Amino acid sequence: MGRFRLTLILIFLVILVPTVFLLFRSWEHLGAEATFGQKERAFLILQMLNQRIYDDLAVEERRSYSEYRFIRAVPMIGGEGVTLSDLAHYPVRSHYAGMIGYFQMEPDGSVRTPVLPDGLLEKIPIENRKEREGVRDRIKTVLVGMKFQNSVAHRRVTAYPYVYTFSADSLKNTKSGRDLQLNSVLAKGQPFAKRYETPSAKEAIVFDVESDRLSTGRQAVVVNGEQLAVEDQGSFDVEIEPFQARFNQDNLVFYRNVWRGDQRFLQGFVVDLKQYLRNMMYKELQISPEEMVLRLEFRSSTGALVSFCSTSSSGDLLFSSPLQFPLQDMELAAYMSMSGRPPGSGLIIVLGFTMVLVLSAGLYGVYKTTASQMRASAKRQDFISAVSHELKTPLTAIRMYAELLQNQWVVKEEKRQHYYTMIASETERLTRLIQNVLNISNLERHRWPVHLQLTNPRQFLEEFIVKYTPTVERAGFSLESIFEECEEEIYLDRDATYQMIMNLLENSIKFAKGFEPKKIQIGLRVRRDGMMIFVRDFGPGIPSAEKERVFQEFYRVENEMTRRTSGAGIGLSLVRKFSQLLNVRLELINANPGLRVEMHLPIQSSL
């Protein structure tokens, strides 16, 4: 059995190891697919962000340089008129979320804003002047904090498109062999470039109205009913460069150089960085944070600026890439936490558990069936050995006594009678053994014919004792009867009951040999709820662990090679089969000393 168990364990491992390997590879594949899918989604978000940056800035790129003043000249029927700039409204109107305000930095470094009249228009009455001044002061604070007066180079800039190509190195954190390339839509469109405007004479004059250096002149401009005289410096082309951007942890400044002759103006606007990015992610791109397993992080060379979606600060970096011009100094990094299970992993777990369970159950079933067959085979071998021994012993004795009598070697009549008695006893013993084998065969094949007849249990037991006492006495035991009064009759299968009691007595004789006192008790107890027949010996009893096993077919407490008692190991098994057939309850009780076997007759058997 040990070798058989080892073989099954090896078979289990041989099947289990590749199965676990395949499941593990499937798990890894699901993880790689999930990672690749999230990376594709992050690339799509990057593309949408770049397109949104381009679209938002395209609106500002179309603005005329003159809109960055409080007033501007516009074409009207019959000529040109002066009106408020579109940027002069308060609160500030803009498609940029988090807009703080627009500004224009003069060639001398002073900062002005379209929401507040300045220069010659400074004394014009206007609503919300205090709040408008607050906008200007806040813009000044941001520009000073970012050192625009000193560090912004006077250089000409041309915007350029980005083509985002990711090599295999960018995929080092994924387990997929596929490569990704994402070409920005901007590469196929028109990039921002330097452009020129040719303003009218009046538009040029109006642009200079808010400059302190202009106080008198030959041209008149009417603003809110007040006529202002300004100097006519003539009209010339204005060169407008593309927007650039600078940012810090809190604010984002878009600015452009405007060249008016040899004069440089800095025009632009200031937005709240975090509000702008949050609005672009959640509202404009309509990304739901509840559905995201990624952590998207905007960062600069100095560190992280703002994070979105996942609240986890850990995770593997999927990729990082600079944003579209002019935010090329800002990167978008995508992280994915690998701690969770990949989508579809539940099926892998269920499949793996089911496969292991089925494999284990199958091999366990094979083991139990084979072990049972091997045990049954071993018991049958023991049975054959025991039956052979049990048959050979009485046959040998019968042959020996018969030869003695046949050859007339026994002279004394008394001895001849003794030999005749021994032949009869051994013949009876041989008959019982053969009968037991036939009975157990019939019971296993359900061929035992049950014949119930009304019987008085006490009379039945008395008849049994009269018939069986000589056999018990020849074995050196005395048979003691303990019967209670019983006038009732019950339905009994006399043959089956006789076989049960006889086998119990045979069992007591075999195992109580060598113990004192050498007697066996057979009794009858009558109760209201039924009747009980018992057989008791004064032998060694049965260990508690063996009480159920002794009823198994061919089972013997002793080892077949070293046993000291005779028998084929089918006596108690036959008793159990008869009890199941007749609905009789058996109970083994260690009587200290000896063993008492009780046969509880069913209540429905009583009349």
pLDDT at 216: 43
Average pLDDT over residues 205-213: 74
Q: Output the pLDDT for position 187.
A: 45
| Residue-by-residue DSSP string for 355-402 | HHHHHHHHHHHHHHHHHHHHHHHHHHHHHHHHHHHHHHHHHHHHHHHH
Residues 242-269: tens digit of each pLDDT:
999 999 999 999 999 999 888 889 999 9
Architecture per CATH, domain 446-605, reads as 2-Layer Sandwich (3.30)
pLDDT band for 1, please (50, 70, 90 cuts): low
Whole-angstrom distance, CA of residue 107 vs CA of residue 211: 10
The larger pLDDT score, comparing residue 117 to residue 408, is at 117
Hey, which residues does 526 pair with through a beta bridge?
531
Rounded-to-integer distance, Cα 503 and Cα 499, Å = 6
pLDDT at 314: 63
Tokens representing 385 are 């050995």
Q: Which of the residue ranges 69-83, 312-326, 333-347, 483-497 would you say has the lowest mean pLDDT? A: 333-347
pLDDT mean over 548-558 = 67
pLDDT digits (tens, 9 = 90+) for 399-432: 887 887 777 777 788 887 887 888 887 787 777 7
Residue 281: pLDDT band (50, 70, 90) is confident
What is the distance between the alpha carbons of residues 438 and 229, in angstroms, rounded to a whole number?
139
Q: pTM (2 decimals)? A: 0.55
Residue 15 CA neighbour count, 13 Å, CB half:
14
User: Smallest Cα–Cα separation from 224: which of 68, 77, 83, 80?
Assistant: 83
Cα angle at 407 between 403 and 413, to 5 degrees?
Answer: 95
**CA dihedral sign, ordered 528, 534, 539, 541:** negative
Return the sign of the alpha-carbon dihedral for residues 238, 242, 246, 252: positive
- Whether 70 and 121 have beta carbons less than 8 Å apart is answered as yes
Q: Which two tokens stand for residue 453?
A: 């007849």
> Average pLDDT for residues 212-235, to the nearest whole number?
50
pLDDT digits (tens, 9 = 90+) for 138-181: 999 999 999 887 655 555 555 555 444 444 344 444 444 444 44
- In the predicted structure, residue 80 carries a pLDDT above the cut 70: yes
d(CA 260, CA 268): 16
CB 140 within 8 A of CB 110: no
Question: What residues pair up with 226 in beta bridges, in sequence order?
Answer: 223
Q: At residue 339, what are phi and psi to the nearest 5 degrees?
A: -75, -30
Which backbone phi and psi does 418 adopt, to 5 degrees?
-65, -40
**Taken in order 186, 188, 189, 195, is the CA torsion positive or negative?**
positive
Q: Is the model more confident about 144 or about 187?
A: 144
Q: Quote the CA–CA distance of 277 and 284 in Å, as a whole number.
A: 10
Q: Can you give the residue ranges of every domain in the chain?
A: 68-158+193-284, 446-605
366-379: pLDDT as tens digits: 878 887 787 777 76
Residue 605 has pLDDT above 50, yes or no: no
Q: Name 161's Cβ contacts closer than 8 Å, sequence gap at least 6.
A: 184, 186, 187, 189, 191, 325
Q: CB neighbours (10 Å) of residue 361?
A: 10
Segment 39-45 mean pLDDT: 85
Render pLDDT for 450-461 as a digit per residue (tens, 0 to 9): 888 888 989 999
Q: How far apart, in Å, are the Cα atoms of 426 and each of 18, 78, 400, 436, 474?
A: 64, 148, 11, 15, 11
Token pair in block for residue 347: 């099926």
Buried b (16+ CB within 10 A) or exposed e, 546-585: eeeebbebbbbeeebeebeeebbbbbbbbbbbbbeebebe
Alpha helices in 231-337 (DSSP H): 273-279
Order of strands across the sheet that contains 294-300:
303-309, 294-300, 331-336, 316-322
Average predicted confidence (pLDDT) for the chain: 79
Do 504 and 597 form a contact (C-beta atoms < 8 A)? yes
Instruction: Give the side-chain half-sphere CA count within 13 A for 326.
Output: 23
Region of poorest pLDDT, from 140-149, 437-446, 513-522, 539-548: 437-446
Torsion of Cα atoms, 503 then 507 then 513 then 515, to 10°: -120
Is the per-residue pLDDT at 199 higher than 90?
Answer: no
Asked whether residue 34 carries a pLDDT value surpassing 90, the answer given is no
In angstroms, the CA 315 to CA 34 distance is 14
Please state the φ and ψ torsions of residue 355, each to the nearest 5 degrees.
-65, -45
Residue 103: pLDDT over 90? yes
Confidence of residue 607 (pLDDT cuts 50, 70, 90): very low
Minimum mean pLDDT range among 439-448, 458-467, 484-493, 500-509: 439-448
Residue 447 has pLDDT above 80, yes or no: no
Confidence of residue 601 (pLDDT cuts 50, 70, 90): confident
Given the DSSP bridges, would you call strands 519-527 and 478-483 parallel, antiparallel or unpaired?
A: parallel
Question: Per-residue confidence at 74, pLDDT binned at 50, 70, 90?
Answer: confident
Which residues contact residue 82 at a Cβ distance below 8 angstroms, ignoring those fewer than 6 apart? 71, 72, 73, 74, 202, 206, 221, 222, 223
pLDDT at residue number 214: 47
Q: What is the DSSP annotation of 18-47? A: HHHHHHHHHHHHHHHHHHHHHHHHHHHHHH
How far is residue 23's CA from residue 82's CA, in Å, rounded to a whole number?
A: 76
What is residue 200's predicted lDDT score, i.e. its pLDDT? 84
What does the pLDDT read at residue 222? 52
